[in-house]
């Protein structure tokens, strides 16, 4: 019997610094409101239990570059984030053991249709169309944990057209990387190929076609995106 589809879908993957091999991506998880100042600028208290949402793996834009402004929004916003790549499986993992699951770290952008997000939130509807659209997750190359060591602090920043918009330190994460991994692993079994966007600091704002976004994290590298119509 002939199968209904005679083609194979490519597996999204991200470059690994200093390695010909790439990191094949299984799932993309994101943490909401994980810096106190950003939580406050969004109108929430600064320490809630972590909550998660997902993006499809093919929303990734490995290496950044040209990214299309999506339709159905008048308020596309930038969110610079530390991304954790998972290299070992784990479910119900204790925070003290969570570092053992980490393959490495990258710089990422969680692009957001903010107007649509707020509208959906008010209507108590899912966020997917505000967060999980095409090219909504530019990401830089992954640096192995053997190279960086466990990441607990370090400058994180984003410029738009050369103007500093976001600037903070990873030490200000409300929930640390081990705590994020431990909490998420209570809900889903983590596996090699999973990525976790760990939340953005304050300073998020509107961007449009023609803008150049340039951000980075100390010790992990930089990411550059040009928005196109």
Q: What confidence tens digit (pLDDT) does each residue in 194-218 have?
A: 999 999 999 999 999 999 999 999 9
Checking DSSP bridges between strand 60-62 and strand 137-139, what pairing results, if any? parallel
Copy the structure tokens of residue 225. 């995106």
Helices (H), the chain: 36-41, 114-122, 128-131, 145-148, 177-184
Q: What is the pLDDT of residues 11-66, one digit of tens each?
A: 999 999 999 999 999 999 999 889 877 567 666 666 678 899 999 999 999 999 99
Q: Which residues contact 126 (CB under 8 A, 6 or more apart)?
A: 120
Strand locations in the chain (E): 13-15, 22-24, 27-31, 52-55, 60-62, 65-68, 76-77, 80-86, 102-109, 112-113, 137-139, 143-144, 155-160, 163-169, 194-197, 206-207, 212-217, 221-228
CA pair distance 21, 149, nearest whole angstrom: 20
Mean per-residue pLDDT, 103-111:
98
CATH topology classification for 24-228: Fumarylacetoacetate hydrolase; domain 2 (3.90.850)
Checking DSSP bridges between strand 212-217 and strand 155-160, what pairing results, if any? antiparallel
Q: What is the pTM assigned to this prediction? A: 0.95
pLDDT at 2: 63
Report yes or no: 30 and 54 within 8 Å, Cβ to Cβ: yes
Copy the structure tokens of residue 217. 């994290």
Copy the structure tokens of residue 108. 């990422």
User: Is the predicted pLDDT of residue 225 greater than 60, yes or no?
Assistant: yes
Domain-wise residue ranges, the chain: 24-228
Mean per-residue pLDDT, 2-18:
86
pLDDT at 43: 63
């Amino acid at each position: 019997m002939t199968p209904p589809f005679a083609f194979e879908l490519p597996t999204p993957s991200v470059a690994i610094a200093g390695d010909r091999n790439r990191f094949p991506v299984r799932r993309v998880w994101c943490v909401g409101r994980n810096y106190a100042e950003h939580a406050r600028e969004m109108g929430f208290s600064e320490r809630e239990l972590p909550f998660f949402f997902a993006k499809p793996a093919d929303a990734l834009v490995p290496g950044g570059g040209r990214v299309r402004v999506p339709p159905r929004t008048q308020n596309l916003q930038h969110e610079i984030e530390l991304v954790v790549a998972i290299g070992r499986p784990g479910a119900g993992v204790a925070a003290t053991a969570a570092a053992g699951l980490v393959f490495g770290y990258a710089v990422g952008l969680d692009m957001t249709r903010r107007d649509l997000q707020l509208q959906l939130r008010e209507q108590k509807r899912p966020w997917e169309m505000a967060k999980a659209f095409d090219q909504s997750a530019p990401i830089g190359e992954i640096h192995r944990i053997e190279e960086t060591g466990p990441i607990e602090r370090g400058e994180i920043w984003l410029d738009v057209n050369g103007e500093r918009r976001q600037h903070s330190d990873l030490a200000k994460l409300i929930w640390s990387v081990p705590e994020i991994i431990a909490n998420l692993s209570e809900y889903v079994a983590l596996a090699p190929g999973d990525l976790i966007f760990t939340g953005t600091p304050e300073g998020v704002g509107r961007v449009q076609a023609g803008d150049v976004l340039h951000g980075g994290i100390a010790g992990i590298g930089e990411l550059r995106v040009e928005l196109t119509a």
